[in-house]
Amino acid sequence: MTAFSRFTPLAASLPASVPFVGPEAIERQRGLAVRARIGANESGFGPAPSVLAAIADKAGEIWKYNDPENHALKAALAAHLGLKPENFAIGEGIDDLLGLIVRLVIEPGMPVATSLGAYPTFNFHVNGFGGRLVTAPYRDDREDLDALLDLVRREDAPLVYFANPDNPMGSWWDAGSIVAFARALPSTTLLILDEAYSETAPAGSIPATDALIDLPNVIRMRTFSKAYGLAGARVGYGVGTPGTVGAFDKIRNHFGMPRLSTEAALAALADQAYLSEVVGRIKAARDRIATVATANGLTPLPSATNFVAIDTGRDGVFARAIVDGLMEHGVFIRMPGVAPLNRCIRVSAGLPEDIDLFEEALPKVLAHLR
């Protein structure tokens, strides 16, 4: 297939790919139907009834563009977190904001520090803007703060990515260690602190809202995709100093936020009782996933997220065989992509009937492989 001949050399050198293969693509490629969608870290519990009601109530306004300044959502977040509206940037999910940050900071050839095996969509953006990824390996299945700090200093990296809690392993650090790491970074290095799973994190693991707000070289990322159940709405936000988050206005898609997504986020933020209920259901699902894993001779890792990483005790080939085998039973899960993390499979919290299917299929797959 021929392509337009005047793409930039960088664009021409990149593969046409996406960081994740979605369950829809797997269904098309393999002719299999997904019966239990427990691989993408979505919330099968869905959004609050109040959120669905708000979407229905505002559906007739879909002909309008969203407020390009996202004033209402910024104000609501400020009231919720005890900050000011100018401390927030709104985007089409954290993934959109990650791309904008890389565009703001990185020119071709510049080093970007991250952990080997960490969130691949961030790497996708770095590659897309010509950055040079430099990595530090995980230690004991969590990102290594000391190694990341050494890497930043050694490479003089202008950008570093760190997630707490972590995807894909579900591990976490305590808030004090994270604050110390952020304050030890050179002032010329921007820290992306990805807190997509902050709502499911244990007490003491997320720094206080105002703990880092004085640092212009820190942007904290949050989302409505996980515990709030709005992955399909694509609503994320960054938290930082007004001067830093205000830089997004230089390059962002000002009409990118869908109007109904904003209404959904406002309603979700207002219904904290439902959020608390869902967090409890996520914990119950994690516990059950761990029980199923243990019953089948596998080792569930401690998790602060809405998924459980399960150590298969073998290697990436064996883990991939489990993932593929479960899909033969209609159970969609994923796995980390880089050794030694890829010895694990990863199962998202889901409805009881989804975990029922996982519990039924897993021993059949393992018996076939063993």
Q: Does 100 map to a domain?
A: yes
Q: What is the pLDDT of residues 186-243, one digit of tens each?
A: 999 999 999 999 999 999 999 999 999 999 999 999 999 999 999 999 999 999 999 9
Q: Does 281 map to a domain?
A: yes
Domain residue limits at 122:
61-270
For residues 258 and 343, state if they share a domain.
no
Which residues are 160's β-sheet partners?
113, 191
For residues 235 and 324, state if they share a domain.
no
For residues 265 and 284, state if they share a domain.
no
Task: Output the pTM of the full model.
Answer: 0.96
* pLDDT value, residue 1: 62
Out of 10-14, 51-55, 140-144, least confident range: 10-14
Q: What is the pLDDT of residues 15-51, one digit of tens each?
A: 888 788 889 999 999 999 999 999 999 999 999 999 9
For residues 123 and 175, state if they share a domain.
yes
For residues 258 and 308, state if they share a domain.
no
Domain count, the chain: 2
Average pLDDT, the chain: 97
Q: Which of 270, 301, 323 is the last residue of a domain?
A: 270
Q: What is the pLDDT of residues 161-189, one digit of tens each?
A: 999 999 999 999 999 999 999 999 999 99
* pLDDT value, residue 231: 98
For residues 97 and 24, state if they share a domain.
no
The Cα 74–Cα 86 span in angstroms is 8
Give me the CATH number covering residue 332.
3.90.1150.10
Q: What is the pLDDT of residues 333-360, one digit of tens each?
A: 999 999 999 999 999 999 999 999 999 9
* pLDDT of 74 above 90: yes
The Cα 57–Cα 53 span in angstroms is 6
For residues 221 and 123, state if they share a domain.
yes
Q: Does 122 map to a domain?
A: yes
For residues 98 and 182, state if they share a domain.
yes
Q: Which of 255, 270, 285 is the last residue of a domain?
A: 270
Which residues are 221's β-sheet partners?
194, 238
Q: Does 5 map to a domain?
A: no
Q: Which of 247, 270, 293 is the last residue of a domain?
A: 270
The Cα 322–Cα 344 span in angstroms is 10
Q: What is the pLDDT of residues 317-326, one digit of tens each?
A: 999 999 999 9
Q: Residue 192 is inside which H or E element, if any?
A: strand 190-194
3-state helix, strand, coil in the chain (%, to 5): 45, 15, 40
Q: Does 4 map to a domain?
A: no
For residues 187 and 129, state if they share a domain.
yes
* pLDDT value, residue 17: 82
Q: Residue 246 is inside which H or E element, if any?
A: none
Q: What is the pLDDT of residues 239-277, one digit of tens each?
A: 999 999 999 999 999 999 999 999 999 999 999 999 999
